[in-house]
Amino acid sequence: MTREMIAILDFGSQYGQLIARRVREHHVYSRICPAGTSADELAKMPLKGIILSGGPASVYAPGAPKCDERIFDLDVPILGICYGMQFGCQILGAEITPVASREYGRATLRMTDRSDLLANLPDETLVWASHGDQVTKLGRDFVTLGETKTCPYAAVRHKKRRFYGVQFHPEVSHTPKGDIILKNFLYSICDCAGDWKMSDFVSETIDNVRRQVGDATVICGLSGGVDSSVVASLIHEAIGDQLVCILVDNGLLRKNERENIVATFRDHFHIDLRVVDWSQQFLYRLQGVTDPQQKRKIIGAEFIAAFKSEAEKIPNARFLAQGTLYPDVIESGSKDGNPAANIKLHHNVGGLPAELGFELVEPLCDLFKDEVRMVGEHLGLPDGLVWRHPFPGPGLGVRIVGEVTPAKLEVLRAADEILIDEIKAAGLYRKISQALAVLVPVSTVGVMGDERSYENVIALRAVETTDFMTADFSHIPHEVLGLISTRIINEVRGVNRVVYDISSKPPATIEWE
């Protein structure tokens, strides 16, 4: 189906796919393309505009990513963001240099021209900046649209070419008016119609799965979380009984998790669900391991072994379906040559197809969490599944800082259950995007029953976000936090202190490990 689209040329930004997601929020189809995509290839697409993403490199660094300069001759508007602005401005005659006062975090943007890109904005607004280089000599062919205290050319427009640039990130939630800037670009500058819908994605994905799979069997690793549940439902919609789901009990699940998954998918939805109890193998391999990346690698290796043990029993199984989302992909390293920095490993990204001998089916890998929920609602999944908080693939193994033991798991399961129960009772579960308890390897002095205690610390974390690439800590009322703390200390043996994590992402990640 031919439709209007915005192409995002990805220079390795941690927010590259977030830009695409923001565009789709405005009902305009977007596609991530490698930075080196030629102008000829782009000209074959139904383009309404191009966005050049940010990236970690300097435009002058050896090997810095570049794009085909002929894109500036295409008759479509181009918006450069951060590195994308610097690259575009450099190509069009401006000078870029490192600056003494690097901007990182919130800055105040003051408007000097609100005729197009910055239309409908106040005189000043907060923006999220992250750059060490910036435009220092603009040249006569540019117009300045906005400035910050340390960046005189924070937003610009070329007089002759249809190029715009911003030296900040309008796509992140930390830029409150960024949505207006993107809307101005899409509708006022690119003249988009805005007729793309999530139902288009669902129908096209179902067709793509049918074409890819044919009459083969697809195996899906089912955890009971939103992502794997939506994947299972989407693929079941496409191929029915050709789908077989496998639940690996790694011993790192939440309390009663295994029983709840079986009741939901095998008993209610009548999906072919196989359960593999591999808990002893996981816990044995994790003995004495404290490094979080090593824990993830071990859990990934054992997951493969457990999967193999069951997958070998399934005839005609050629495909493996996974609920990989784009935040998983981009935080795990590279996709399609994307040079984004590696932050942490995910056992469900990279390596699994080769290890297991299956072709991979990842129907959600270009979506963010809230978009996956939209797909789930469109497919008719129950609210309890659609709105369930994310749970990491390595389970509680990465919510215990340090060595994982059966005793620590029991402590964490009990604390986690109290946290979730109380935020649900307070009516906060849907407001909070993700809540978790972390067992910290620190013992502190306390007084319990008139006696000195020296026991564990539980850290609580709750965040609010729409994209899981950026997040702010949730402002849970003090009385609710107090109730959670009191219950954990009174009911969970081995805990005498509860703390609340008030860091945002970035610079922190949502999970602790």
> Known catalytic residue: 169?
yes
Active site residue 171: yes
Report residue 246 CA to chain centroid gap: 24
CA distance 96 to 135: 4
d(CA 18, CA 471) in angstroms, rounded, equals 13
- In single-letter form, the type of residue at position 323 comes to G
Q: Tell me whether residue 285 is exposed, middle or buried, using C-beta atoms within 10 angstroms of its C-beta: 0 to 12, 13 to 18, 19 or more.
A: middle
Residue 177 burial (C-beta neighbours within 10 Å; 0-12, 13-18, 19+): middle
Cβ 8 vs Cβ 51: under 8 Å: yes
- Rounded Cα distance between 65 and 12, Å, is 8
What angle in degrees, to the nearest 10, is found between the helix axes of 369-378 and 198-213?
80
**Residue from 131, 169, 346, 347 carrying the catalytic annotation:** 169
Query: Any residues with CB less than 8 A from the CB of 13 and at least 6 apart, and which?
Result: 19, 53, 54, 55, 56, 81, 82, 83, 340
Least Cα distance to 237 among 212, 266, 271 occurs for 271
CB 195 within 8 Å of CB 358: no
State whether the Cα torsion 246-252-258-260 is positive or negative: negative
Q: Is 82 a catalytic residue?
A: yes
Q: Which of 4, 103, 147, 171 is catalytic?
A: 171
Active-site position among 82, 89, 151, 220 = 82
Beta bridge partners of 276: 248
Give the relative orientation of helices 226-239 and 369-378 as an angle to the nearest 10 degrees.
Answer: 40
Catalytic residues: 82, 169, 171
